[in-house]
Amino acid sequence: MSYEPPRPVRGLLLTPEDRAAPARISRLRRLGLGERPEPALDAFADHLGQLTGAPYAMVNFIGEDHQFFAGLCTPVVAPVVREDGSRPEVGRILPRDHGFCPHVVVRRKALVLEDVRDYPRFAGNPVVDEYGIRSYLGAPLVDRYGMVLGTVCASDVAPRAWGRSGLDTIKALAAELVVRIERSEADGLPI
């Protein structure tokens, strides 16, 4: 009998298994989404950032091993300064195990984290240390077939009491964006 030591787990980061990923990726490709930045989705993320007052806002499509921010709103200068004096740069792609959107996609429900450090499951997430993310508000983009295409979300580097109004806002914006995506599909026009 042999003994294998347990694999180290950073915090309690347990990114959920995403069995729907292959079908979602196929649907996103048919829609022409999730592989390049979309100016209309950047504008949508800007609007979300203004509504919530959050420094980060995204329209995020989740693949099997990564996330792609087709819509992205970030501060001109990252609010977090690392120990070496540098500031993190937010790109359009993150590994699937970074952030909280993969949880929203698999759960199929909005997620509100007023202070991520209050939740052991999320406190060890790499975005907490790398980008200083302390709060998160996200909702799934569920199409007419019941498929979760991705998320809309906002994040802050300080704890935030998003409250019921924040939850209602993010859910309404997710529903609004799904209507725009489906209208675009039906009309054969860009979003």
Q: What is the DSSP string of 34-94?
A: SSS--HHHHHHHHHHHHHHT-SEEEEEEE-SSEEEEEEEE--SS-S---TTS--PPP-SEE
One-letter amino acid for residue 48 of the chain: L
43 in Cβ contact with 57 (< 8 Å): no
Residue 30, φ and ψ in degrees, nearest 5: -60, -35
Q: How many CB atoms lie within 10 A of CB 69?
A: 28
Cα distances from 134 to residues 24, 56, 99, 123, 148, in angstroms, run 29, 11, 11, 9, 25
Of 158, 166, 46, 173, nearest in space to 112 by CA: 166
- Rounded CA-CA distance 148/182 in Å is 13
pLDDT in tens, 134-176: 999 999 999 999 999 999 999 999 999 999 999 999 999 999 9
- Rounded CA-CA distance 47/167 in Å is 16
- Which helix (H) or strand (E) segment holds residue 106: the answer is helix 101-107
User: Which domains are seen in the chain, by residue range?
Assistant: 21-185 (3.30.450.40)
Q: Note the pLDDT of residue 129.
A: 87
pLDDT in tens, 38-86: 999 999 999 999 999 999 999 999 998 999 999 999 987 777 888 888 8
Global pTM exceeds 0.85: yes
Q: Note the pLDDT of residue 81.
A: 80
Provide the β-strand partners of residue 148.
142
